[in-house]
Structure 1
């Protein structure tokens, strides 16, 4: 079974299509909802150059804490599945970067920073378009979700999965361990190499085959909580790169502003579907999740 593709601006009922996908699998692929593909190419070019740079360049941008959630992390510095060996990936995470609170010297270059800020703004608006479509479909105020995603906890993340020899990968080690995403939804841009897998309804790992000019979108833990389980926060992972090809991807994590109170909406609660989740703040949930996957030196 393939992951459904929605042509957003050409679909007669995009809200219903999104509802169907996120309820059934928690994953979909979307095109035509406002992503600037020329700008996306610039992001890939800068990402590729950064991850190919020497270690001193990377370490000058080093990640410091889960609270800040900004900077470079190297191989084996994250366990998305804490029960498994550390992940075979490098990352560069950029939280809330339109605010400009990170000093220029912690960026690879001013040009890199400007490109990432421009793409962050573009992806932020595109994600808000999807949030408005979901809210409208649920008969909520159109800004119900988007108004709670102003950027404070939204992160753009570059991911690099270097090719490995089969003998260098230990048992149960992955590019990214099996995990669910923490927030509302994620936009994932992947190159043509592949490797992303989702756990489908039959508890089988299903490949998400890359398709040109589409974005993989999945629902996260807090959307599952808001919808009382109607929308699925689905386990997914990335296979290790043992076929001789590096993999690059770009993720935009739409996590609500920290004070946001998240509890199941009354429209999803009934005698047949009693409330399944306790209330929490977005910040409490997300920090707990991030800290569970990071090495101790990043937990301050």
Structure 2
């Protein structure tokens, strides 16, 4: 898990203790200044980040529940609105856990339309379900859609740059030719045609999903108690390649990561005695300050890099509510602790037909098939 500013001038929370540690990859990730500048067309401005967070907050926290439920779909794990306590991220690592106490809303690449027919090469290519003008204020619905679409398009390009830098570092330093070959498909450095594999300017075939998450102050699982509050989202790793996360200053919930490399490729080594570390970011004093992102290594990157970079085991925990008196006094910290948290999480996915070569075994399969097998492994563990 790496926390970076847009110009990569601040590294806050870096977990690259997996063996063998790749110092060059680490250095390249931290110094992204040549890759993620808005003027070069590959960065994301503070204004757009703040606008996207405001739009997400308006939809997740301020709009009536009927507005969100107008965005329900049959496949809410991939598109549209997913109400609180309806999903379970613990299942991603094959564990039993409480359902997620968070509201979610997802958009992604839409299927192609040809001759009036919808053509999709992946289950992750689906129409997006936006709030309607009938269910919400016309201006708010328009601002929400246009802002989130613009953020999605921009953050996809930034994620592509981040991933390319990471992969180039691994390839440059890794003497294992199998790993270098496996990672090359992610970097798009093997040939020009591969440059569109993930988020090329012209390609719309990637499978990345932008998820908006909303945590409410005071959300608790019933079986928790004062000395131990159960996670709002249980410990898990992310299935895809990378996750690029941006969140606001609401402190009713806190992101935590495992400190002891407790997971690799989605499998917990030991669910006991895990040390958890808060992912704390520098305080942003001004809306014009560079936005800061948290980057999680996903299972696909972990596996294709042969464990050079480990999947980030992480969870979201509730934080105690401040005393009402402190809020009435205008205590800034108390106000933040009582505020909802809003997050923008881009889960980076490859083009579904991209060839993935697994190191060591040499198995070659499509990204879509790799993803299907990864989820099936977790499902099989839960059935034991």
Relative to the length of structure 2, the TM-score reads 0.61
Answer with 130-139 or 97-106: which moved more. 97-106
Mapping of residues 104-183 of structure 1, within 5 Å: 109-137=141-169, 138-139=171-172, 140=184, 143-144=188-189, 147-150=196-199, 151=204, 152-164=206-218, 169-171=222-224, 173-183=230-240
Partner of 2:247: 190
Task: State how far apart, in whole Å, the 1-side matches of 2:166 and 2:258 are.
Answer: 23
In the alignment, is the contact (CA less than 8 A) between 2:232 and 2:318 conserved in 1?
Answer: yes
Task: State how far apart, in whole Å, the 2-side matches of 1:72 and 1:114 are.
Answer: 17
In the alignment, is the contact (CA less than 8 A) between 2:231 and 2:317 conserved in 1?
Answer: yes
Give the 3-state SS of the residue equivalent to 2:281 in structure 1. coil
Partner of 2:327: none
Partner of 1:282: 367
Structure 1 residues 221, 279: CA separation in 2 closer, same or farther (over 3 Å shift)? Answer: farther
Partner of 1:245: 339
Task: State how far apart, in whole Å, the 1-side matches of 2:233 and 2:362 are.
Answer: 27
Partner of 1:270: none
Structure 1 residues 20, 289: CA separation in 2 closer, same or farther (over 3 Å shift)? Answer: closer
Partner of 1:90: 103
Aligned residues: 276
Structure 1 residues 217, 239: CA separation in 2 closer, same or farther (over 3 Å shift)? Answer: same
Instruction: Compute the displacement of 1:112 (Å).
Output: 1.5
In the alignment, is the contact (CA less than 8 A) between 1:153 and 1:256 conserved in 2?
Answer: yes
In the alignment, is the contact (CA less than 8 A) between 1:29 and 1:215 conserved in 2?
Answer: no
Instruction: Compute the displacement of 1:195 (Å).
Output: 0.3
Partner of 1:36: 45
Answer with 154-163 or 141-150: which moved more. 141-150
RMSD of aligned Cα (Å): 3.8
State the Cα deviation string for residues 102-143 of structure 1 (Å, max 9, x = none).
366669623322111111111111111112212332145852
Relative to the length of structure 1, the TM-score reads 0.77
User: 5+ unaligned residues in a row in structure 1: which ranges?
Assistant: 266-274, 295-300
Structure 1 residues 50, 287: CA separation in 2 closer, same or farther (over 3 Å shift)? Answer: farther
In the alignment, is the contact (CA less than 8 A) between 1:195 and 1:208 conserved in 2?
Answer: yes
Partner of 1:268: none
Give the 3-state SS of the residue equivalent to 2:100 in structure 1. coil
Structure 1 residues 200, 103: CA separation in 2 closer, same or farther (over 3 Å shift)? Answer: closer
Structure 1 residues 173, 117: CA separation in 2 closer, same or farther (over 3 Å shift)? Answer: same
2:66 pairs with 1:56? yes
In the alignment, is the contact (CA less than 8 A) between 2:89 and 2:234 conserved in 1?
Answer: yes
In the alignment, is the contact (CA less than 8 A) between 2:2 and 2:295 conserved in 1?
Answer: no
Give the 3-state SS of the residue equivalent to 2:90 in structure 1. coil
User: 5+ unaligned residues in a row in structure 2: which ranges?
Assistant: 37-42, 113-125, 173-183, 262-273, 285-290, 322-337, 380-384
Partner of 1:298: none
Give the 3-state SS of the residue equivalent to 2:207 in structure 1. coil
Instruction: Compute the displacement of 1:289 (Å).
Output: 6.3
Structure 1 residues 4, 204: CA separation in 2 closer, same or farther (over 3 Å shift)? Answer: same
Task: State how far apart, in whole Å, the 1-side matches of 2:147 and 2:241 are.
Answer: 25
In the alignment, is the contact (CA less than 8 A) between 1:29 and 1:214 conserved in 2?
Answer: no
Mapping of residues 253-268 of structure 1, within 5 Å: 253-265=347-359
Instruction: Compute the displacement of 1:70 (Å).
Output: 1.1
In the alignment, is the contact (CA less than 8 A) between 1:19 and 1:231 conserved in 2?
Answer: no
Answer with 71-80 or 93-102: which moved more. 93-102
Structure 1 residues 233, 60: CA separation in 2 closer, same or farther (over 3 Å shift)? Answer: same
